[in-house]
Amino acid sequence: MTRTPRPRPFRPAALLALSLLPLLGACGRGGGDILSQRPQAPCPRVAVLADAVDLTRYGAGASGAVELQARMLQPVGSCDYAPGSAGLDVTLVVQVEAERGIGTLRTADLPYVVAVTDEAEGRVLNRGADTVRVIFAGNERRTAAQGEQMMVRIPGDVRRAAEKVVLIGFQLTPEELAANRRRGPR
């Protein structure tokens, strides 16, 4: 005795699923595949060090007039996962505003420091230095400049790397630092 299969009842949900197949099939192609994109990488806190946000240089001689005043602005940056699960890559661009005093100053190289710190313990884990050049055109008294794009890798577990703090500030002499601390934030 053989049985003949009974016809299946019509189901609208099955028809809807069939109509979505072309759309779902397109998910695996091209760069717009939302299902395969990694989530946005977390970023550590990036801040300008309060004691090193300003730099004031004085001219030589008895007058000691202000030659240059500069202020570090909040850097522009982004974060991404480091290759091979090596941690986080933080890309930064340092930005400054500067004003020259009375004199003939046309260019100035302003040294700055970038440090990765462990906020919980307050210790510096890694540190680097660079400069940003400001150029005053003609009779211009104020100008703005930005440094080269830099990448800071914070190794280790991504979650722990995101808990670090990246601090940026001008590299000051002991006298400049003491003056900033006496004056306080502007």
Q: Residue 170 and residue 176: Cα distance in Å, rounded?
A: 10
Structure tokens given for 165: 């703090």
Q: Round the average pLDDT of the chain to a whole number and report it.
A: 81
Distance, in Å, from the CA atom of 141 to the CA atom of 68, rounded to the nearest integer, reads 10
Least confident span in 38-42, 129-133, 142-146: 38-42
pLDDT, tens digit, 9 for 90 and up, residues 57-115:
887 766 678 899 999 999 988 999 999 889 999 999 999 999 998 777 899 999 999 99
Helix H segments across 26-166? Answer: 158-162
Q: Where are the domains of the chain?
A: 45-175
